[in-house]
Structure 1
C-alpha cells in the first residue's frame, strides 16, 4: 500500500511538471509572438502562433469554449476512472502523459477560450496541423498505451 501512495505522489508531480512546462511555453508564445507570426527554426520546423478553437489539431473548431470544456472534462473523468484502478507503474506513466496533456489544454481553454498552438512541422509546403506540448504528451501517451 505504501508503494501505491508513493507512486501516486510521483505521478502527480510528473503530471504537474508537464502541465507547468506546457503552460509556460504557451505563455511565452502568447507574450512574445503576434497571432499568426512565424519564427523559422530549420527547414522542417517553425514556431507559428495560432489560437486553436477546436480540440486536438483543430478538430471541432466551430464549437464554443463551453461545449469543448465539457467534452474535455468528460474525457478526463473517463480516463481518471480507468487510471485509478491501474496498479502497474508503466501503465500509470502512460495515463499520466494523457492526463497531463488534457489538463494543460483544458486549463488553457478555460483561461483563454482557446488553446495556443505553435509547433509547425513541415516538409516543403506540406504542413502537419500545428500543435503544442500538451498535444505531444497526449499523443505519446496514447501511442504507448496502444503498443503496450
Structure 2
C-alpha cells in the first residue's frame, strides 16, 4: 500500500531543487565572471573569491591524486538516497527534519554536479576577520551545514513536541 507522495516528507523536495539551482547558478556566474583565485570584496569580513576544491570540506583530501573525487561522489549519492528514503517515510508535517534533509540533499547534489562535471568543487565565499580567513566555501556547503545544524537542533526539541508532530502525521 503506497501513500500519496505529498503526504510524505518528499513534499519538501522543492527546497532541495531550489538549493541546487541557486548553488549551480552562483557557481556558473563566478566561473564566467572571475579569474581563478580572483577576489572581490563585498562587505567588511566577506569576499567573493573564486577557488577550486578537489577535496571535501575544508579541502580535506584535496592533495590525494584524484581517487577522492569518486569517493566523495559515492558518499553524496549514498547520503541523498538515504535521506530521500527518510523523507518518504516521514510525514510532510515533520517540517524541521524534512527541511534539513532537503537542504543536505540539495547541497550534496550541487557539489556532486561539480565533481562529476569539473573534477573539483567551485568555492567562492571567503569569510574573514582581520588577517584570518575561514576556508572558502559555497552555497551547497552552507545548505549542508544548515541542514546538519537543524538535525542537531531537532534532537533537542522536547519529547512532547515530537509526540504532537507524530500525532499530526495523519492530518
| TM-score greater than 0.5 by the shorter chain | yes
Aligned equivalent of 1:146: 152
Question: Would the aligned equivalents of 1:7 and 1:89 in 2 still touch at CA under 8 Å?
Answer: no
CA RMSD of aligned residues (A): 1.8
Structure 2: gaps spanning 5 or more residues: 155-171
**Distance in 2 between residues matched to 1:82 and 1:62, nearest whole Å:** 34
User: Aligned in 2, Cα 1:13/1:6: closer, same or farther, shift over 3 Å?
Assistant: farther
| Number of aligned residue pairs | 147
Higher Cα radius of gyration: 2
Question: Is structure 2 residue 98 aligned with structure 1 residue 92?
Answer: yes
SS of 1:78 mapped into structure 2: helix
Question: Would the aligned equivalents of 1:117 and 1:131 in 2 still touch at CA under 8 Å?
Answer: yes
Aligned equivalent of 1:81: 85
Aligned equivalent of 1:68: 72
**Distance in 2 between residues matched to 1:38 and 1:57, nearest whole Å:** 18
Q: Pick which of 49-58 and 20-29 moved more.
A: 49-58
**Distance in 2 between residues matched to 1:72 and 1:21, nearest whole Å:** 18
Deviation at 1:89, TM superposition (A): 2.8
**Distance in 1 between residues matched to 2:59 and 2:77, nearest whole Å:** 18
Aligned equivalent of 2:32: 31
Deviation at 1:9, TM superposition (A): 5.9
Question: Is structure 2 residue 16 aligned with structure 1 residue 15?
Answer: yes
Aligned equivalent of 1:105: 111
Question: Would the aligned equivalents of 1:39 and 1:47 in 2 still touch at CA under 8 Å?
Answer: yes
Runs of 4+ in 1 over 4 A off after TM superposition: 6-9
Instruction: Tell me the TM-score normalised to structure 1 length.
Output: 0.89
SS of 1:40 mapped into structure 2: strand
The C-alpha deviation readout for 1:96-146, integer Å capped at 9, x for no partner, is: 111111011101111111110000000011111100000110000100110
SS of 1:131 mapped into structure 2: coil
